[in-house]
Structure 1
Amino acid sequence: MFMTFRDWSSERYLIHINFTLAQLSSQILFLIGEHQVRNQTTCKVFAICTHLTFLSAFFWVLVEALDLHFKMVLKFDRNRSKLPFFMFLGWGAPAAVVIICAGNNSDQYGSENSCWVEDGNNLIWAFIGPSVAVVLLNTVLVIITFRAYLRHTPDAKSETEEDIQIRENDWITLRGIIGSTSILAMTWLYGFLLVGSPSSAMFQYAFVLSNGAQGVIFFILFCFLNTEVRQSWKPPPEPKQKPMPKVTPAPVVEPKKPSEPKKDEEPKPADPPKHTRRRKQRSRLLCGKLLTI
Structure 2
Amino acid sequence: MWHAAANQIPYDALVLATGSRPFVPPVRGRDLTGCFVYRTFDDLDALRATARPGRPGVVVGGGLLGLEAANALRLLGMRPHVVEAAPHLMPTQLDSGAARVLHRHVTELGLRLHCGTATSSVDSGADGKVRAVTLSDGTVVEADLVVFSAGIRPRDELADAMGLTRGERGGIVVDNLCRTTDERVWAIGECAAVNGRCYGLVAPGYRMADSVARQLTGQEPEPFTDTDTSTTLKLLGVKIATFGALRSDHGHAVEAVFAEGTDRYAKILLSEDSGDLLGGILAGGTGSWTAIRSLVGRRPPANLEQLLLP
Whether these two folds match at TM > 0.5 is no
TM-score (norm 2): 0.25
Say which structure, 1 or 2, has more relative contact order (CA 8 Å, 6+ apart): 1
- Greater strand proportion: 2
TM-score (norm 1): 0.26
